[in-house]
Amino acid sequence: MSEVSNPPQVAAVEPTLALNSRSKVIAVTSGKGGVGKTFVSANLAAALAKRGLRVLVLDADLGLANLDVVLNLYPKITLHDVFTGKSKLEDAIYKAPGGFSVLLAGSGMVEYSRLAPEVRDDFLRIMESLVPNYDIVLLDTGAGISDVVLFAVSMASEVLLVATPEPTALTDAYATIKVLGAQQKRQSIRMVINQVARTGDGTAITTQLQQVLDRFVNKDSEHPLKLIHMGDIPVDPAVRQAIMKRQLLAQSDPGCPAALSLTQLASKVESAVIKHGS
């Protein structure tokens, strides 16, 4: 893999990760909860791993994420144990069913969700030592716009925002986009629209969001914010079945339409991040 040096996108916050590390970190976020953010993180990770990439998914929601539930994986050692010095970092990294690595926060991390400076430093230190071992690190962030989410996003070179076509999810996605643009001077945010009814709906939604942004935000901004449509995931009964069975799509129904769309998404993500294509 080639090291990419992106222009710094996080001008508004203090320097976090070194650029060569940051370039492979993708924050997967959403405005609203329940739009499939963790589902996308886990299944995208599996699809990327299938392409031969070394992938780590990190539960950046500090104990509030459902990554363990989605993966049906309940590790004894978590990020919390690493923070408290009880365990070594390498012992907290588990192999998930999809062939990628996963580092879970552990429920004890909830007390850290206020993100004290020392927790931030710990987190950064952990990220610095982890990132070089992987081609792509996915940060599964929490819902809403908390300081933890903003911090996680600030460590990432790319933001992948998951939304659904519902009005409430779109409003939340739009609010998140505005905040990320204003707070972190992001220039681009990558969009994934989950649960679309028809092919092309997701593209239309991203276009619509972009038009509203152009009209209300970009018009007097020095940093016009660009949305990059990365893909749609169709409504697919196989998704629900996989979630109920607590399996990845690649395990339960690798040929279903949603799985195929995730494969396409992985290909786009790889070319965007590794080869720095789009």
Partner 1 sequence: MQSILDGLCELSLRDPLTGLSNRRHFNHLLNREIESVARSGESVLLLIMDIDHFKKVNDTYGHHAGDLVLQAVSKCLASCVRPMDTVSRFGGEEFAAILPNCPSSFGPVVAERIREAVAALAITVSPSETIQVTISIGGAYAPEWVRSTIELWTERADEQLYRAKSSGRNRVFIEEQRGVAVSADEKGMLFGHLLLGDPASASIAGDTSSSAVADTEMNRAN
| Residue 48 CB contacts under 8 Å (≥ 6 apart), including other chains | 55, 100, 135, 136, 266, 269, 270
Contact mark string toward partner 1, 13..52, x via CB under 8 A: xx----------------xxx-------------------
Q: Taking CB under 8 A as the rule, does residue 146 contact partner 1?
A: yes
Closest listed residue to residue 180, CA positions, set 1, 31, 18: 31
Checking phi first, is residue 104 left (phi over 0); if not, alpha (psi -120 to 50) or beta? beta
Q: Taking CB under 8 A as the rule, does residue 167 contact partner 1?
A: yes
Residue 207 CB, shortest distance to partner 1, in Å, is 7
Q: Taking CB under 8 A as the rule, does residue 143 contact partner 1?
A: yes
Helix or strand or coil: residue 149?
helix
- DSSP-assigned beta bridge partners for residue 28: 140, 160
Long-range Cβ contact pairs of 87-92 (< 8 A, separation 24 or more): 89/126, 89/129, 89/130
- 42 touches 57 (CB < 8 A): yes
Residue 269 CB, shortest distance to partner 1, in Å, is 26
Residue 208 CB, shortest distance to partner 1, in Å, is 5
Contact mark string toward partner 1, 216..255, x via CB under 8 A: xx-x------------------------------------
- The residue within the footprint of partner 1, chosen from 50, 51, 54, 178 (CB under 8 A), is 178
Q: Are strands 188-196 and 93-95 parallel, antiparallel or unpaired?
A: unpaired
Q: Which chain residues interact with partner 1 by CB under 8 A?
A: 12-14, 31-33, 113-115, 143-151, 154, 167, 170-172, 174-176, 178-179, 181-184, 204, 207-209, 211-212, 215-217, 219
